Amino acid sequence: MRLAALKASKSTFQAVQTRGMATEKQIYSQMISTKNIRKITASMKMVSAAKLRGDENRLKAAIPFNQWTTAICGAPKLVEGATFDDLPQKTLIVPITSDKGLCGGCNSFISKAVKLAAKNLEKQGKEFDIVSIGDRGRGQLQRLLAQKIKTSISFASSPGTFALAAALKGEVAAAGASEYDAVMIVYNHYVNAVVYKQMYKIVKPFRGEGENEPMVQYEFEPETKHEILEDLYEYTLTCQLYHSFMDGACAEQSSRMSAMENATKNAGELIESLQLRYNRARQARITTELIEIISGAAALEK
């Protein structure tokens, strides 16, 4: 009778353990899967660090290449605290995001910047549309600004080149960039491996007559100034997209590197917690088995 009672109590204990808390085997399986995840995130961090060095070199080459546009378009401006009063009546917003995730909040920050700009422009009674570069930006902006998205570009992948920037400019132009008073490029500005900021550039077309005629201080040869200014505007827009894409690629890799480092650290902490739970469950099982053996031996003696 006592042996039957002991077996019943053992089965009841196992049922309660299975129903109320993880078993030894379940905790061990979770430990193995978490260790595999830690290996993956650590590898992704090393890959991002290697890619970041290459993107930094490409950005260093892109900065002097695009420096001449500052005299024409002005310096990039910080999104934080901006009211966007400097935007004209009709603006085409071009946010630059990535096609891949697992890179922290770099894409979310761009989406928030676009939503902030949209909110301010609506208050000011101005018109705007969006041409999204990157799948992540499109997915995040579709929730609130789906009607404003004219097109989405998802073939832009690192490492970027000037040919890629020209292709992006072609897609932006196909969306009717010439019909707007300005193109606003929103991107992540790489400061260092830890810090990046959200900036925006305004590229306005070179058109106007009389007092508003652009670049009156320059002489043009041949005298087809209108065609030359159109070509110059397209080249300026391409250079700005090229630099913005290079800047955003560095920020993306630095953000992914930090995210994977944090994920690796969190996985290590979780493994330590699971190891402690596993040891406690194993100790509880051993103690239970010892109690059962002692109780069985005592029952046999009686």
- Regarding whether 147 and 102 lie in a shared domain, the answer is yes
What CA–CA distances, in Å, run from 180 to 47, 128, 129, 142?
40, 9, 9, 22
- Regarding whether 231 and 169 lie in a shared domain, the answer is yes
What CA–CA distances, in Å, run from 19 to 6, 12, 16, 42, 76?
20, 10, 5, 35, 59
Q: If we measure between CA atoms, which residue out of 96, 92, 172 comes closest to residue 130?
A: 92
- Identify whether 287 is part of a domain: yes
- Identify whether 55 is part of a domain: no
Identify the DSSP state of 160: P
- Tens digit of pLDDT for each residue in 283-302? 988 898 888 888 888 888 76
- Identify whether 53 is part of a domain: no
What CA–CA distances, in Å, run from 91 to 168, 205, 232, 238?
17, 11, 19, 17
pLDDT at 198: 95
- Tens digit of pLDDT for each residue in 114-151? 999 999 999 999 999 999 998 898 889 988 898 999 99
- Tens digit of pLDDT for each residue in 218-267? 777 766 788 888 889 999 999 999 999 999 999 999 999 999 999 999 99
- Regarding whether 266 and 252 lie in a shared domain, the answer is no
- Identify whether 57 is part of a domain: no
- Regarding whether 171 and 92 lie in a shared domain, the answer is yes
- Identify whether 51 is part of a domain: no
Q: Which domain holds residue 124?
A: 68-257
Cα–Cα dist 169/46, whole Å? 33
- Identify whether 100 is part of a domain: yes
- Identify whether 237 is part of a domain: yes
- Tens digit of pLDDT for each residue in 55-113? 999 999 999 999 999 988 999 999 999 999 999 999 999 999 998 888 888 999 999 99
- Regarding whether 238 and 222 lie in a shared domain, the answer is yes
Do 130 and 141 contact (CB within 8 A), yes or no?
Answer: yes
- Regarding whether 292 and 158 lie in a shared domain, the answer is no
- Regarding whether 296 and 204 lie in a shared domain, the answer is no
| Number of structural domains in the chain | 2
- Identify whether 291 is part of a domain: yes
Cα–Cα dist 238/242, whole Å? 6
β-pairing, 196-203 vs 77-78, is antiparallel
- Regarding whether 124 and 92 lie in a shared domain, the answer is yes
pLDDT band at 215 (very low <50, low <70, confident <90, very high): confident
Specify the pTM. Answer: 0.83
- Regarding whether 166 and 289 lie in a shared domain, the answer is no
> What mean pLDDT is reported for the chain?
87
